[in-house]
Amino acid sequence: MIRMENVHKTFGDNQVLKGMSLEIPKGTSMVIIGGSGTGKSVALKCVLGLIKHDSGMIYVDGKDATKGDRDAFLARFGMLFQGAALFDSLPVWQNVAFRLLRGPLKRPREYAREIAIEKLRRVGLKSDVADRFPSELSGGMQKRVGLARAIAAEPEIIFFDEPTTGLDPIMSGVINDLIREIVTEMGATAMTITHDMSSVRAIADNVAMLHGGVIQWTGPVSQMDASGDPYVEQFISGSAEGPIEAVR
Amino acid sequence: MNPLNLLGGLGRAVLALFATFGKVALFSVDAISHIFRPPYYPREFLVALMNIGWLSLPVVGMTAIFTGGALALQIYAGGARFNAEAVVPQIVAIGMVRELGPVLVGLMIAARVTSSIAAEIATMKVTEQIDALVTLSTHPMKYLTAPRVLAALITVPLLVGIGDIIGIAGGYVVATQNLGFNPATYLQNTVNFLETHDILSSLAKGATFGLIAALMGCYYGMNSGRGAQGVGRATKSSVESAAIMILAANFILTGVFFSL
């Protein structure tokens, strides 16, 4: 389980998180929605320790996320970045098997390659993609490779940062379905941030609306449409009228 | 203009400069310490050796040969003013080995290697590849910085040595083909005049300049701002800083080696 308690984060004069609290039960899929610049990515990066929060507490399975063995902590996570963040200098299979080629999870090269190809198949890519470089792939294929990398070491917790941004609706649907399938199949705890309402409906067990640096509403996805929260309602409808200012 | 405002602006600029020195110094200590601490990434080190050493050879060779040739012509023309044309071999040798070889190789490495390291790492930062490395339990200082710094520390002195030899060869060709010097005498004078101390100082300067070039590339890459502008600014600043630090270090090292 992931628990954020009263987390604050400020960049210069810009206070992004103003006491964000959120709980993600083990084995569930939480989707955080909210406008651009509301701190969704910052919240996710605070959990991973990529950004240090100013105050508040973050717990993973009851343990303070900022303390203890960092490598062991990160080994429990997989992450799909917004732009896939594949390493340009490495072929696709080495991107996917990155963790299996070095560090504490190191495996023999041939075995790591087999795993990479298996994970590529899992995300719908053929084995001939394995030896290509990321720059030779389309945006949708890069996202799938990023997804394969995120699940390669079979992590307990997976984060997805805007998984469908920049993709056409069909490819977005494919990625959403893959995420849902993989999370269910692996029994992983998932945390996704997105603007895309079709992703929310496809991926989420629970939804949290982040606005003004705090969680405005959280609940099961089935209750989202009838939440009664003006922020959530405006976000779902995409209306310019409401508590969220259209010009920010 | 209010003199207090001027003084305030000057004070802020000086403080910012010292803050940058402090950050660069801490980064350098951290980067160098990671060379000695596992895990090690031999594959990345070999790639860096290839990029920094082997692929810099053409540009270093061309720079050295033309500089050596031009130096021979200048010394011959200048020496002729007081009947000292015969000193061409000695001055070309000492000029290349003590000064021009290390400094020009250092500056070429700053242009070629520092810029490339800064642009590559800055792009990785902007595209979240550095964050991805962290989430894959890989320390960016160990994976990106340590192999490049170590490779530069090893290869740049070798490049300086090769540059020295090619520069002297450039002077030899010009002196024997255009200026009428006897080839055997030219080589004899070159070898007799150079001392071990000259060569060691050249290689030590090479190691220092290599370290500076790699560290500046890594520092500005890792601290790059956002977007294409951030990458461009990081690349520009890395080359400027590396070039200035190489020239300053050259002055200090020359003082240490030859004035004491």
Question: Per-residue DSSP letters for B142-204?
Answer: IIIIHHHHHHHHHHHHHHHHHHHHHHHHHHHHHHHHTS---HHHHHHHHHHH--HHHHHHHHH
| Confidence at B3, pLDDT banded by 50, 70, 90 | confident
Residue A243 pLDDT: 83
- Number of domains chain A is built from: 1
Residue B121 pLDDT: 97
What residues form DSSP beta bridges with A209?
A: A33, A217
Q: Please check the confidence at residue B49 and state whether its pLDDT lies above 80.
A: yes
Q: Using beta carbons and an 8 Å cutoff, which residues of A are at the interface with B?
A: 45, 48-50, 71, 74-75, 77-79, 81-83, 85-89, 98-99, 102-105, 149
Domain contains A31: yes
Q: What is the mean pLDDT of chain A?
A: 91
Structural tokens at position B53: 């050493």
Q: Please check the confidence at residue B77 and state whether its pLDDT lies above 80.
A: yes
Residues of chain A found within 8 Å of residue B131, distances taken between Cβ atoms = 45, 50, 81, 85
Q: Which residue has the tokens 């899929």?
A: A29
Domain contains A128: no
Q: Please check the confidence at residue A245 and state whether its pLDDT lies above 80.
A: no
Q: What is the pLDDT of residues A17-58, one digit of tens each?
A: 999 999 999 999 999 999 888 899 999 999 999 999 999 999
Residue B260 pLDDT: 58
Domain contains A131: no
Average pLDDT over residues A236-246: 80
Of A115, A187, A180, the C-alpha closest to A148 is: A115
Residue A240 pLDDT: 80
Residues of chain A found within 8 Å of residue B129, distances taken between Cβ atoms = 85-88
Q: What's the gap between Cα A87 and its chain centre?
A: 18
Q: Please check the confidence at residue A244 and state whether its pLDDT lies above 90.
A: no
Of B103, B128, B110, B138, the C-alpha closest to B220 is: B110
Residue A248 pLDDT: 55
Say what the ipTM of the complex is: 0.89
Between A183 and B255, the higher pLDDT residue: B255
Average pLDDT over residues B65-79: 95
Q: Three-state DSSP class for A47?
A: helix
Domain contains A126: no
- Contact between A48 and B134 using a beta-carbon 8 Å cutoff: yes
Residue type, B12: R
| Closest in A71, A85, A103 to B127, CB measured | A85
Q: Please check the confidence at residue A119 and state whether its pLDDT lies above 60.
A: yes
Q: Please check the confidence at residue B227 and state whether its pLDDT lies above 60.
A: yes
Domain contains A10: yes
Residues 6+ apart with CB under 8 A from B143: B41, B44, B133
| Closest in A81, A98, A149 to B131, CB measured | A81
What residues form DSSP beta bridges with A11?
A: A14
Closest-CA distance, B210 to chain A, in angstroms, reads 23
Of A207, A214, A213, the C-alpha closest to A235 is: A207
- Contact between B132 and A87 using a beta-carbon 8 Å cutoff: yes
Owning domain of residue A34: 1-75+193-215
Range in A133-147, A163-177, B35-49 with the lowest mean pLDDT: A163-177
Structural tokens at position B214: 């790699």
Q: What is the pLDDT of residues B136-158, one digit of tens each?
A: 999 999 999 999 999 999 999 99
Residue A175 pLDDT: 85
Q: Which residue has the tokens 């939440």?
A: A227
- Contact between A50 and B134 using a beta-carbon 8 Å cutoff: yes
Residue A228 pLDDT: 87
Average pLDDT over residues A89-100: 94
Q: What is the pLDDT of residues A59-68, one digit of tens each?
A: 999 999 999 8
Between A13 and B239, the higher pLDDT residue: B239
What is the side-by-side order of every strand in the sheet holding A189-194?
A77-80, A157-161, A189-194, A29-33, A206-211, A214-220
Of A226, A159, A217, the C-alpha closest to A188 is: A159
Domain contains A3: yes
B50 touches chain A (CB under 8 A): no
Residues of chain A found within 8 Å of residue B134, distances taken between Cβ atoms = 48-50, 74
CATH number of the domain that residue A58 is part of: 3.40.50.300
Is B145 in contact with B34 (CB distance < 8 Å)? yes
B132 touches chain A (CB under 8 A): yes
Domain contains A43: yes
Residue B1 pLDDT: 67
Nearest-CA residue of chain B relative to A100? B136
Q: What is the pLDDT of residues B96-105, one digit of tens each?
A: 999 999 999 9
Residue A68 pLDDT: 87
Instruction: State the DSSP string of B65-97.
Output: HHHHHHHHHHHHHHHGGGT-GGGHHHHHHHIII
What residues form DSSP beta bridges with A161?
A: A193
Q: Please check the confidence at residue A181 and state whether its pLDDT lies above 90.
A: no
Q: What is the pLDDT of residues A156-177, one digit of tens each?
A: 999 999 998 878 888 888 889 8
